[in-house]
Amino acid sequence: MHYVGIDIGKRHHVAVILDANGQQVGKALRFANDRDGFDQLLARLAELEPDALIGLEATGHYWLALYTLLAEAGYDLVVLNALQIHAYRKSGIRKRKNDRYDAYWIADYIRVSRQPHHQSQQPELLQLRELTRFRASLTDQVGGCKRKIISIIDRVFPEYEQLFSNVFIQTSRRLLAEALTPDEFAEFDLTELTQLLAQSSRGRHGQAKAEELQALARRSVGIGFLTDALRVQMTCLLQQLALLEAQCQQLEAEISALVDQFPQHITSIPGIGPITGAIILAEIGDIHRFAAPEKLVAFAGIDPTVYQSGQFTATQTRMSKRGSPFLRHALWQAAFMATQHDPQLRAYYQRKRAEGKAHGTAVGAVCRKLLHRIYIVLKEQRPYVIRD
């Protein structure tokens, strides 16, 4: 049996081969991330016995092309998180003169850890991860766009936010598209303003809201300069916000359609909705990579870390925050929702708070409980059943 570790880079990769005793076979192979380089690697692998196991890090997106090639060639593969190799290398268990290559540590890790291997990851899950991460980037842009709009309102017409519980409802957007400064709102024809409010709110607002708006405008302390520049910005930002939100809706439809292509019961767990469930599925990938729920908890980076020094052990713990931030964020959202809708997890959260735990620590504990449920549901491919 041979173990091949491949250190992934943008333009070049490095492969190191170890035998069953951990001895390096030949020199490290540095090959280009192109067809010629891949052919070099395949030629080298052809010299080995057919049961070679290949390990590589999921570094950015640079590993996918090589992974696809090796999977199609029929090789057994192990996809590793960079944190696993970093921790293994830092452990200092073995020191060799040829350990300067990360590829060496990857090969040695899969040799001693007996990692479960698989020939291919589900293409649907890889596509799902691409879409959910892209959606995350768009939602970040939506948030940034809204913050910029509020910043403009705060400077030009700070009293405006008193009118609506949410300045981004459709009625408010229509108003901001028509006028921005207090003077513009104060000079707006009352009848026209009333009609605009009635149409955009479907009759919920009328003359009373129009009069309230104009009264606030006449007493506003907003700045009277920069308004031309800020009006241009507001117009652009409102258009950008509408586009980003439409794209998010389109992505969510694509994500839902993709999730339906393979069996899953993750949304049977209280607190996990369709989009949150899709993110969790995409970030976890193949559940069989994890031998126990605790491995999944560590992968998600929500395992607690405890500070110790001499005889002192901290009573407050923090998440390790290793692994995927996308997975952690989705779990945090799911845990918060679960404390609202799942009596068991709500009671668990309240018990942690009664013990003196901070809100974040208590929600983190709920996250770990949720991950144990997720592990069972995915591993056993069955819906979650709430126990009395």
C-alpha span between 276 and 327 (Å, rounded)? 9
Q: Is residue 162 part of a domain?
A: yes
Tokens of 19: 């035998």
**Structural domains in the chain (count):** 3
* Nearest Cα to Cα of residue 284 among 109, 73, 21, 58: 58
Burial of 179 (0-12, 13-18, 19+ CB in 10 A): buried
For 209-237, what is the mean pLDDT? 96
Listed in sequence order, the residues at least 6 apart from 283 whose beta carbon sits closer than 8 Å to its beta carbon are 129, 132, 324, 326, 327, 330
Q: Identify the pLDDT of residue 101.
A: 76
Q: Does residue 71 sit in the same domain as residue 190?
A: no
Report the SS3 class of residue 351: helix
C-alpha span between 41 and 262 (Å, rounded)? 33
pLDDT in tens, 243-256: 999 999 999 999 99
Q: Identify the pLDDT of residue 316.
A: 47
The residues that bridge with 7 in the sheet, in sequence order, are: 14
Average pLDDT, the chain: 89
Q: Does residue 167 sit in the same domain as residue 103?
A: no
Q: Identify the pLDDT of residue 317.
A: 52
Q: Does residue 235 sit in the same domain as residue 288?
A: no
In the block, which residue shows the tokens 């694509």? 254
Q: Is residue 345 part of a domain?
A: yes
Strands (E) across 231-372 are located at: 304-305, 308-309, 312-313, 318-319
pLDDT in tens, 258-305: 988 877 899 999 999 999 999 999 999 889 888 899 999 988 998 765
Residue 72 to residues 75, 79, 311, Cα–Cα distance (Å): 8, 15, 55
Confidence of residue 319 (pLDDT cuts 50, 70, 90): low
Q: Identify the pLDDT of residue 88.
A: 82
* Nearest Cα to Cα of residue 90 among 107, 102, 80: 102
Q: Is residue 261 part of a domain?
A: no
Q: How many helices (H) and strands (E) does the chain have?
A: 15, 9
Q: Is residue 170 part of a domain?
A: yes
Q: Is residue 385 part of a domain?
A: no
Q: Does residue 49 sit in the same domain as residue 17?
A: yes
Q: Tell me the pTM.
A: 0.80
Q: Does residue 222 sit in the same domain as residue 321?
A: no
Q: Does residue 145 sit in the same domain as residue 76?
A: no
Report the SS3 class of residue 18: strand
Q: Does residue 8 sit in the same domain as residue 40?
A: yes
Q: Does residue 137 sit in the same domain as residue 246?
A: yes
Q: Does residue 234 sit in the same domain as residue 347?
A: no
Last residue of a domain, one of 256, 277, 303: 256
Q: Does residue 222 sit in the same domain as residue 286?
A: no
Domain that includes residue 74, residue range:
3-120
C-alpha span between 170 and 181 (Å, rounded)? 19
Q: Is residue 388 part of a domain?
A: no
Last residue of a domain, one of 120, 142, 158: 120
Give the count of beta carbons closer than 10 Å to the beta carbon of residue 201: 17
Q: Identify the pLDDT of residue 210.
A: 97
Looking up residue 180, the CATH number of its domain turns out to be 1.10.287.4070
Share of the chain above pLDDT 70, in %: 90
Q: Does residue 92 sit in the same domain as residue 151?
A: no
Q: Does residue 81 sit in the same domain as residue 138?
A: no
Looking up residue 88, the CATH number of its domain turns out to be 3.30.420.10
Question: Does 23 score more than 60 pLDDT?
Answer: yes
Q: Is residue 317 part of a domain?
A: yes
Question: Does 94 score more than 90 pLDDT?
Answer: no
Q: Identify the pLDDT of residue 313.
A: 45
Q: Is residue 386 part of a domain?
A: no
Q: Identify the pLDDT of residue 99.
A: 46
Q: Identify the pLDDT of residue 61.
A: 85
pLDDT in tens, 48-83: 977 899 999 887 789 989 999 998 898 999 888 777
Confidence of residue 320 (pLDDT cuts 50, 70, 90): low
Q: Identify the pLDDT of residue 309.
A: 38
pLDDT in tens, 331-367: 999 999 999 999 999 999 999 999 999 999 999 999 9
Last residue of a domain, one of 120, 152, 184: 120
